[in-house]
């Protein structure tokens, strides 16, 4: 009888061994244990940090109330609070530019009846403060190069029907999905590269866009009976091929590229909002950016099958407490390590130096290394002491080593489960983080691609080394005073395989109140 997805998930209760012949071992954490929410102990905070926290929460609450009021007023009816929060208010813009890859032309004027065709063209001609509306379709930038550059303060909103009369980012999919055709022109930057500075109160909005590198990455073919492929039964590809390796088997055709580019990259000063988006199959980070002062708000997004980290934003100013990121209400699954050795990286969210960070209401699951990374420490102790980092009301499950990774001294790491976040000194707010309970595990497991989840749960691997000092090559190298060489072989049953595109949309609204919700 075919094992149900629910039973597959509950099988995590047994620790699965990742059996390298050296020290490597994967211990997947127990799922489905209900953890009592503890608020009995509170962290003693400095007066300044507490005041800053309360002020920030008051502003956030006020901003949400204002957004809902504006939405109600502009639609002429009493929209539900869920609807207002999920989609968010679309800004008026000093000018509105319409873009349709299917029905537009770059010789048009960008009006609703005469839309442009290319997103890059729209960005180039739009004035600062403009709203750019994207109809459904795949946007590949200037001359279909596979990327776009945002170099001014604009709002980019996708998910519109062809005639712009309706908006539903899941039904009317606005995508940026470069394929093998873009290999020679894809550039040396993310699929979307945001580089805007000069205005601390400037605004960039990225809303309702599906970023996916699954068609341009290089994957080994799904040869399920060859352990070199790393292809669990039912997965649509074998493992990803890294930049520095040669595929040992045939690859998925048409062949993709080995590239270390992000889905969103760049550096920005001001207020950046990224919401209602999908970040899928990123070879090198979902979002990796720098903040030059201001506020980043990343919410209601789904991140699946990205390498390195789903989101990493560092501060690039010398002054502390001038940059802030709120990372909330996102669903983050299957973030993979840097290499198939599975020895580093592979985080849902990384707390970087030079920036304060609040992380809350997220689902963080199946991280190949750890759920949250708070291991970065500012070399300047005074700056480190002023950092404000928090994590509260997050759900975790199946993160390989732990739900948070901390430094332990001497280059080692401390792995922390969610129930112990209240004892993490680096967190100024920590309440209500927990492992998923049985009902939540059942709910999300029914939305995840079953073969992919089963493959992740059952990851195995081997590592073998061979060194022959008497080989002709090593004898020759020894005679020349050169170091002798050996070989090392690492094989894994799964590593950063491509996640199926159609299944990712099921994850919106998988668990009510946590993670990304359905977009209206």
Residue 208 has pLDDT above 70, yes or no: yes
pLDDT of residue 470: 67
Exposed/middle/buried for residue 3 (C-beta within 10 Å: 0-12, 13-18, 19+)? exposed
Q: What is the pLDDT of residue 370?
A: 94
Is the predicted pLDDT of residue 18 greater than 60, yes or no? Answer: no
Indicate if the pLDDT at residue 67 is higher than 50: no
Question: Per-residue pLDDT averaged across 467-492, rounded?
Answer: 65
Q: What is the mean pLDDT of residues 165-180?
A: 95
Residue 464: per-residue pLDDT: 54
N-terminal to C-terminal alpha carbon distance within the chain: 39
Q: Give the residue among 53, 56, 8, 4 at the shortest CA–CA distance from 31.
A: 8
* Dihedral class, residue 87 (left if φ above 0, else alpha if ψ from -120 to 50, else beta): alpha
pLDDT of residue 71: 35
Please report which confidence band the pLDDT of residue 25 belongs to, taking 50, 70 and 90 as the band edges. Answer: very low
Residue 381 vs residue 46, higher pLDDT: 381
| Integer CA distances (angstroms), 26 to 249, 368, 399, in order | 26, 9, 10
Answer for the pair 120, 149: CB distance below 8 angstroms, yes or no: yes
Question: What Cα–Cα distance (Å) separates residue 500 from each residue in 69, 136, 329, 423, 451?
Answer: 38, 20, 22, 38, 10
Label residue 409 by pLDDT band (50, 70, 90). confident
pLDDT of residue 391: 97
CB 200 within 8 A of CB 294: yes
Say what the pLDDT of residue 66 is. Answer: 34
pLDDT band for 248, please (50, 70, 90 cuts).
very high
On the question of a cis peptide bond just before residue 254, with omega within 30 degrees of 0, the verdict is yes
| pLDDT tier, 503 (very low <50, low <70, confident <90, very high otherwise) | very high
CB 198 within 8 A of CB 128: no
Which residue from 91, 161, 162 is spatially nearest to 130, judged by alpha carbons? Answer: 91
Give the Cα-Cα-Cα angle 67, 68, 72 (nearest 5 degrees). Answer: 120
- Assess contact for 19 and 491: CB atoms under 8 A: no
pLDDT band at 474 (very low <50, low <70, confident <90, very high): low
Residue 128 pLDDT grade (very low, low, confident, very high; cuts 50, 70, 90): very high
- Ranges 41-55, 146-160, 374-388, 452-466: which has the least confidence: 41-55
Are 370 and 347 in contact, with CB atoms under 8 Å apart?
Answer: yes
Each residue's pLDDT tens digit, 267-314:
999 999 999 999 999 999 999 999 999 999 999 999 999 999 999 999
Over range 204-213, report the average pLDDT: 97
Q: What is the DSSP string of 281-338?
A: S-SS-SEEEEEEEEEEEEES-EEES-BSEEEEEEE--SSTTSEEEEEES-EEE-PBPS
338-390 confidence digits (pLDDT tens): 988 888 899 999 999 999 999 999 999 999 999 999 998 998 999 999 999 99
Query: CATH code for 90-176?
Result: 3.30.1910
Closest C-alpha among 210, 205, 170 to residue 88? 205
Distance CA 121, CA 98 (A): 11
Average pLDDT over residues 407-436: 91
Consecutive H or E run containing 7: helix 5-10
CB atoms within 10 A of CB 76: 7
Residue 362 and residue 364: Cα distance in Å, rounded?
6
Q: Is 81 helix (H, G, I), strand (E, B) or coil?
A: helix
**Could you read off the pLDDT of 92-108 as tens digits, one per residue?**
889 999 999 999 999 99
Query: Residue 507 pLDDT > 70, yes or no?
Result: yes
Instruction: Locate the domains of the chain by residue range.
Output: 10-20+23-45+196-454+496-507, 90-176, 460-492
Query: Cα 80 from chain centroid?
Result: 28
User: Do the Cβ atoms of 121 and 106 come closer than 8 Å?
Assistant: yes
- Give me the residue label for tokens 């590269």: 193
Among 177-186, 289-298, 396-405, which is the least confidently predicted range?
177-186
Mean pLDDT is lowest, of 85-99, 164-178, 402-416, 424-438, for: 85-99
Number of H helices, E strands in the chain: 8, 27
Average per-residue pLDDT for the chain: 83
Instruction: Say yes or no to pLDDT of 55 above 90.
Output: no
Residue owning tokens 């497991």: 445
Q: Which helix (H) or strand (E) holds 386?
A: helix 381-386
Question: What percentage of the chain carries pLDDT values higher than 90?
Answer: 67
Residues 333-341 have a mean pLDDT of: 93
pLDDT average, residue stretch 43-65: 40
What are the b/e assignments for 200-220, b being 16+ CB within 10 Å?
eebbbbbbbbbbbbbbbbbbb
Q: Residue 180, SS3?
A: helix
């Amino acid at each position: 009888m075919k094992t149900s997805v629910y039973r597959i998930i509950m099988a995590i209760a047994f620790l699965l061994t990742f059996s390298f012949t050296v020290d490597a071992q994967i211990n997947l954490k127990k799922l489905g244990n209900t953890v009592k929410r503890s608020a009995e102990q509170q962290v003693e905070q400095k007066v300044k940090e507490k005041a800053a926290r309360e002020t920030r929460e008051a502003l956030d609450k006020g901003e949400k109330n204002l957004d809902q009021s504006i939405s109600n007023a502009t639609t002429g009816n009493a929209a539900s609070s869920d609807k207002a929060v999920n989609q968010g208010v679309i800004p008026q813009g000093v000018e509105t530019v319409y873009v349709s890859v299917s029905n537009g032309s770059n010789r048009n004027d960008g009006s609703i009846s005469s839309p442009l065709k290319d997103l890059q063209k729209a960005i180039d001609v739009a004035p600062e403060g403009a709203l750019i509306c994207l109809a459904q379709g795949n946007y590949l930038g200037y001359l279909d190069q596979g990327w776009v550059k945002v170099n001014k303060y604009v709002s980019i909103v996708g998910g519109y029907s062809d005639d712009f009369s309706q908006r539903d980012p899941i039904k009317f999919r606005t995508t940026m999905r470069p394929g093998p055709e873009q290999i020679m022109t894809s550039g040396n930057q993310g699929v979307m590269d945001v580089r805007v500075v000069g205005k601390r109160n400037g605004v960039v909005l990225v809303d309702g866009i599906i970023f996916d590198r699954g068609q341009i990455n290089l994957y080994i073919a799904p040869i399920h009976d060859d352990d070199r492929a790393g292809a669990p039964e039912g997965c649509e590809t074998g493992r990803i091929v890294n930049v520095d390796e040669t595929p040992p088997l045939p690859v998925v055709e048409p062949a993709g590229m080995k590239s270390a580019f992000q889905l969103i990259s760049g550096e920005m000063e001001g207020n950046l909002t990224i919401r209602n988006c999908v970040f899928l199959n990123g070879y090198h980070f979902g979002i990796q950016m720098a903040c030059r002062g201001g506020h980043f708000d990343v919410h209601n997004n789904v991140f699946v099958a990205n390498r390195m980290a789903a989101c990493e934003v560092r501060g690039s100013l010398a002054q502390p407490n001038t940059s802030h990121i709120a990372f909330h209400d996102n669903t983050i699954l299957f973030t993979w390590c840097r290499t198939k050795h599975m020895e580093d990286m592979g985080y849902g969210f990384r707390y970087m130096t030079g920036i304060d960070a609040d992380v809350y209401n997220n689902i963080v699951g199946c991280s190949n290394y750890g759920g949250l990374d708070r291991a970065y420490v500012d070399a300047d102790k005074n700056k480190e002491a002023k950092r404000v980092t928090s994590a509260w009301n997050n759900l975790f499950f199946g993160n390989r080593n732990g739900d948070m990774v901390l430094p332990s001294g001497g280059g080692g790491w401390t792995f922390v489960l969610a129930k112990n976040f209240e004892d993490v000194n680096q967190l100024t707010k920590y309440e209500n983080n927990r492992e998923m309970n049985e009902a939540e595990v059942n709910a999300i497991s029914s939305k995840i691609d079953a073969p992919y989840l089963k493959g992740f749960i059952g990851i195995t691997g081997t590592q073998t080394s061979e060194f022959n000092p008497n080989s002709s090559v090593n004898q020759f190298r020894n005679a020349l005073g050169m170091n002798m060489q050996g070989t090392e072989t690492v094989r894994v049953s799964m590593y950063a395989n491509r996640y199926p595109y159609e299944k990712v949309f099921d994850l919106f609204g998988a668990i009510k109140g946590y993670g990304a919700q359905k977009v209206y």
